């Protein structure tokens, strides 16, 4: 979440008036995150999130992203419902940006989650995969291999001498990562979150009160989504592995959905591919950062360090239970 497009109180009130959600009492910008513009809205009937979708979120993808969060919420998953306007539409427009109002989900993200919290996060990712399995819409991964190539090309145009060693290593990894990603199409898959980081998982009353920010959601291999999550939950801020956290996450995940033998074998390479993806996007965002944006770009180096860890890993590295009897 971030603020790229300013919205005045009157502009927000006018947009809110197209919904049956009461009158606007107060609004506040939410500056965490890096993708879209978000405001908290307090109205006479409750609290909501106003989101303006910025450049990296393709407007054509919004029926999938918003439809998936609604689909999951209808099945009891802690995702935000999308508030339809009086015409029944989920999406409107503010200041030239597609915009939507979503249900406020209580909770806070944990800066230092303990092993039980991490295990619960793993279980809720498995629940997402199970409950989203019958979601009918489709979306190709917007940050898959074609995007990796384009990001690397753009970074090369602006990278200074200090960034060259990292960028050269990333380019050298691309062929292998693309082959791994292509092979993942044969693994179990469906709707995935693709951005299941701690700041998108809100804890409340020893449970998870909200899973948010589905704007990278797409079709993909479930174990690729697990690899993304392990990169998010299983390393410290400097990119050092936390094996206890990784083990807790995969144990929680397998309480809800057991990995197949093929998924276990593919996990290290797909986790490395996801680390490559986030290294490239963070490097790109740092190189092309606009200082006018109320958001701080994230350092790509900790994700770059994850690639080498996964390249040397096997299924046991992540604390998976023995594979006896797993097909």
pLDDT over threshold 90, residue 57: no
In the block, tokens 């979708």 appear at: 53
For 181-226, how does the pLDDT look when each residue is reduced to its tens digit (9 = 90+)?
999 999 999 999 999 999 999 999 989 999 999 999 999 999 999 9
* Nearest by Cα to 253 from 303, 311, 188: 188
pLDDT over threshold 80, residue 327: no
Provide the 3-class DSSP secondary structure of residue 145: helix
For 4-32, what is the mean pLDDT?
94
pLDDT over threshold 50, residue 1: no
Tokens representing 58 are 């393709």
Instruction: Supply the pLDDT for residue 324.
Output: 63
- In order, the DSSP letters of 182-243 are HHGGGSSEEEE-S---GGGEEEETTEEEEE---TT-EEEEHHHHHHHHHHHHSB-TTS-B-H
Instruction: Supply the pLDDT for residue 59.
Output: 86
Contacts of 8 (CB under 8 A, 6+ apart): none
**pLDDT band for position 33 (cuts 50, 70, 90):** low
Q: What percentage of residues in the chain have a pLDDT greater than 90? A: 86
- In order, the DSSP letters of 82-100 are EE--TTS-S-EEETTEEEE
User: Global pTM?
Assistant: 0.93
CA distances, 298 to each of 37, 196, 301 (Å): 17, 16, 9
**pLDDT band for position 3 (cuts 50, 70, 90):** low
| CB contact at 8 A, 253 and 298 | no
Work out the mean pLDDT of the chain and round it to a whole number: 93
**pLDDT band for position 31 (cuts 50, 70, 90):** confident
For 260-308, how does the pLDDT look when each residue is reduced to its tens digit (9 = 90+)?
999 999 999 999 999 999 999 999 999 987 766 556 778 999 999 999 9
Instruction: Supply the pLDDT for residue 293.
Output: 59
Instruction: Supply the pLDDT for residue 55.
Output: 72
């Amino acid at each position: 979440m971030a603020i790229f497009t300013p919205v005045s109180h009157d502009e927000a009130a006018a947009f809110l008036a197209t919904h049956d959600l009461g009158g606007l009492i107060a609004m506040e910008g939410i500056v965490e995150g890096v993708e879209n513009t978000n405001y908290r809205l307090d109205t006479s009937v409750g609290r909501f999130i106003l989101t303006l979708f910025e450049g990296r979120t393709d407007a054509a993808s919004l029926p999938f992203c918003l439809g998936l969060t609604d689909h999951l919420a209808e099945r009891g998953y802690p995702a935000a419902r999308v508030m339809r306007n009086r015409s029944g539409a989920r999406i409107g427009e503010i200041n030239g940006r597609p915009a939507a109002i979503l249900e406020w989900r209580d909770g806070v993200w944990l800066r230092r989650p303990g092993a039980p919290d991490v295990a619960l996060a793993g279980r809720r990712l498995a629940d997402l995969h199970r409950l989203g399995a019958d979601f009918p819409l489709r979306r190709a991964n917007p940050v898959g291999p074609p995007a990796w190539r384009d990001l690397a090309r753009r970074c090369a145009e602006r990278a200074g001498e200090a960034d060259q060693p990292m960028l050269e290593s990333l380019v050298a990894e691309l062929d292998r990562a693309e082959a791994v990603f292509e092979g993942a199409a044969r693994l179990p898959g469906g709707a995935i979150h693709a951005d299941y980081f701690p700041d998108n998982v809100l804890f409340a009353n020893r449970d998870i009160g909200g899973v948010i920010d589905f704007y990278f959601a797409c079709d993909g291999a479930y174990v690729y989504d697990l690899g993304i999550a392990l990169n998010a939950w299983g390393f410290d801020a400097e990119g050092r592995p936390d094996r206890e956290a990784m083990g807790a996450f995969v144990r929680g995940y397998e309480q809800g959905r057991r990995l197949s033998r093929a998924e276990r074998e593919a996990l290290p390479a797909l986790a490395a591919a996801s680390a490559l993806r986030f290294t490239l996007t963070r490097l790109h965002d740092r190189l092309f950062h606009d200082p006018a944006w109320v958001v701080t770009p994230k350092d790509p180096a900790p994700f770059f360090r994850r690639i080498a860890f996964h390249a040397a890993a096997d299924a046991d590295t992540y604390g998976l239970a023995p594979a006896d009897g797993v097909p």
